[in-house]
Amino acid sequence: MGTYVNPGNTAFTEAINSKIYIDKSELISYTNSVINTKQKNICVSRPRRFGKSMAADMLVAYYSKGCDSTKLFSGKSAEKDKSFTLHLNQHNVIRLDIQRFLETKKDLNTFIFEIEKWVILELIKLFPECTDIIPRRNRKLKSVLEQIFVQTGNGFIFIIDEWDCVFQLARDRKEKQKEYLDFLRGLFKGAEYVDLAYMTGILPIKKYGEHSAINIFDEYSMISPKNLGKYFGFTEDEVQQQCKEHGVDYEEVKKWYDGYRLGGLHIYNPKSVSDVLIWKEFQSYWIGTETYEALKIYIDMNFDGLKEAVSMMIGNGKCKINTRKFQNDMTTFKTKDDVLTLLVHLGYLTYDKNTSEAFIPNQEIIQEFMNAVDDPGWDGLIQSLNRSEDLLRCTWACNEDAVAKSVAAIHSETTSILKYNDENSLACVILMAYYSAKVYYLNPIMELPSGKGFADVVYLPKKGVDCPALVVELKWNKSAEGAIAQIKERQYANWIKGYTGNILLVAINYTKETKEHTCKIETLSNIRF
């Protein structure tokens, strides 16, 4: 058993013995299916503490010849697959944790040399019959592996954890990043000795023109999880079962930690869920592993429309983003879309691939955004959010003047963040104004037309909450009366005709010339279509 070559199963044993363990061994069925195929190169990117390392430890325990893991996998779902016994502890495995290696060696200038040196030394011990692999000056790992393969026919499974930490530790050292990518390219591209290459990290593979040459990897990311979405993080069914077993309120867990959308699934951060199951206290567990300054750096960047987008999402809104131009690093930003795409990969936002929209996933993350915007650079936003509860109660009371005054105040307070005289800014204002609605209502249903002049917002009460549904119509340079008329004419309330509770129709107009806000509120019972 080696440290890097054919390691043991200690790490996976600890995971199984932990207070909270959910079986993700079905992943093995997929990795077995792609061994020695064109799909054998896998790169999985997920945020911190999303189960990446546990999965890597599991694969090491399963494949490595350095241990016997028969008992560890007894009763696990992987056992049911017909390929299970075929590959169980039958492969030579090279396991590298790049982050741990860098923390130990501490020198970016020599870490690739150190990786090659230590792995080669273990290979010499493991294959003493291969005299041609004795290290010479500047001997490369690739050539040693090629010689072993030629002389013995032995291939290797590579499992590399935190593959991308070089791009975090050397953010501004482009030459080191390129050197590292060249190393990986040389190691994997066209290599016959590779049976399977499995990499994990926070970021997808860096785009570097010709240095994108590790494009042989299939990527499974927060943007495009493909068929591996359920293996990282906890699924809704898994959380429900764990809540039942540990006596924790599932609905509260859902409010705090649900929200990530991967391949049509609701995915929960396993760190947060595990901690709340153990400690029975609802708070920000995942965020506690990193300070809010990391988020603040990105949302304070001076890109047009970035602060408006963040403000809208804090108000439970969604923001369309273009993820395709993101360069998969932490320094190359050209637009707000690049920043927001990074926040998706970091876990601060989630992404709906069907609608191309990003949004804040849950209460845990909202709290972190609130910390980040409690700053002079976000003048007025916190004050506006604090007005929200009063505004909501004025809306329920059909106090039109009070609603109009509150919206006007919020609009004025956020002029440094929003483009005041922009129709879409009014939608941001409304979402911030009704920030408190998240306590009583489901996420707002929004429709922002491509044309100008209005945006519609629908709030439906949560189950068991006694408050009216809200159909909000916004107008720009028109009239609140006209907005009400449009609701009637277009029968917007039919969107929720299956809803049996009370419905309030709320019309808000902003007049650009006078900067005046007006409001009309009517109940559905007063409406005749």
pLDDT at position 527 is: 44
With the C-alpha atoms ordered 9, 15, 16, 22, is the resulting torsion angle positive or negative? negative
- Once rounded to an integer, what is the mean pLDDT over residues 238-248? 96
What lies within 8 Å, CB to CB, of 293 at 6+ separation is: none
pLDDT at position 275 is: 95
pLDDT exceeds cutoff 60 at 213: no
pLDDT at position 136 is: 67
Q: Please work out, in degrees rounded to the nearest 5, the angle formed at the alpha carbon of residue 393 by the alpha carbons of 392 and 398.
A: 95
Structure tokens at 357: 């929209």
pLDDT at position 449 is: 43
424 contacts 308 by C-beta, under 8 angstroms: yes
pLDDT at position 498 is: 61
Q: 6 — alpha (psi -120 to 50), left (phi > 0) or beta?
A: left
Note the pLDDT tens digit of each residue in 18-31: 999 999 999 999 99
Structure tokens at 188: 């994997």
Instruction: Give the residue with greater pLDDT, 377 vs 358.
Output: 358
What lies within 8 Å, CB to CB, of 203 at 6+ separation is: 45, 164, 167, 328, 329, 330, 345
Which residue's entry shows tokens 């023109």? Answer: 209
| pLDDT mean across residues, the chain | 87
| DSSP state, residue 525 | G
| DSSP state, residue 197 | E
The per-residue DSSP string of 326-391 comes to --SSSS---SHHHHHHHHHHHTSSEEETTTTEEE--SHHHHHHHHHHH-SGGGTTHHHHHHTHHHH
pLDDT exceeds cutoff 60 at 105: no
Which residue's entry shows tokens 């390929």? Answer: 83
Q: How many helices (H) and strands (E) does the chain have?
A: 22, 16
By the 10 Å C-beta count (0-12 exposed, 13-18 middle, 19+ buried), 85 is classed as exposed
pLDDT exceeds cutoff 90 at 376: no
SS3 455: coil
Q: Which domains does the chain possess?
A: 10-229 (3.40.50), 233-289 (no CATH), 379-529 (no CATH)
Indicate the pLDDT class of residue 418, thresholds 50, 70 and 90: confident
Element (H, E) at 287: none
Percent of the chain with pLDDT over 90: 54
Structure tokens at 168: 């975090």
The per-residue DSSP string of 205-253 comes to PPP-GGGGTTTTSEEE-SS--GGGGGGSSEEHHHHHHHHHHHT--HHHH
By the 10 Å C-beta count (0-12 exposed, 13-18 middle, 19+ buried), 494 is classed as exposed
Note the pLDDT tens digit of each residue in 62-79: 999 999 999 999 999 999
pLDDT exceeds cutoff 80 at 131: no
Indicate the length of the chain as a whole number.
529
- Once rounded to an integer, what is the mean pLDDT over residues 179-191? 91
Give the lowest-confidence range in 90-94, 270-274, 489-493, 513-517.
489-493
pTM over 0.75: yes
Which residue's entry shows tokens 């153990």? Answer: 278
Instruction: Give the residue with greater pLDDT, 128 vs 240.
Output: 240
CA–CA dist 193, 412 (Å, integer): 65
- Once rounded to an integer, what is the mean pLDDT over residues 103-130? 85
Structure tokens at 16: 């199984």
Indicate the pLDDT class of residue 211, thresholds 50, 70 and 90: very low
pLDDT exceeds cutoff 70 at 420: no
pLDDT at position 6 is: 97
Structure tokens at 239: 């959380």
Range from 90-99, 406-415, 465-474 that averages highest in pLDDT: 90-99
Note the pLDDT tens digit of each residue in 446-499: 764 433 344 478 888 888 888 998 988 888 888 888 778 877 777 666 666 666
pLDDT exceeds cutoff 90 at 329: no
Instruction: Give the residue with greater pLDDT, 261 vs 206.
Output: 261
Which residue's entry shows tokens 């943007």? Answer: 223
- Once rounded to an integer, what is the mean pLDDT over residues 508-519? 88
CA–CA dist 54, 499 (Å, integer): 44
Long-range contacts of 318-325 (CB under 8 A, 24+ apart): 318/352, 318/355, 318/357, 318/358, 318/359, 318/446, 319/357, 319/358, 319/359, 320/355, 320/356, 320/357, 320/358, 321/351, 321/356, 321/357, 321/358, 322/356, 323/223, 323/351, 323/356
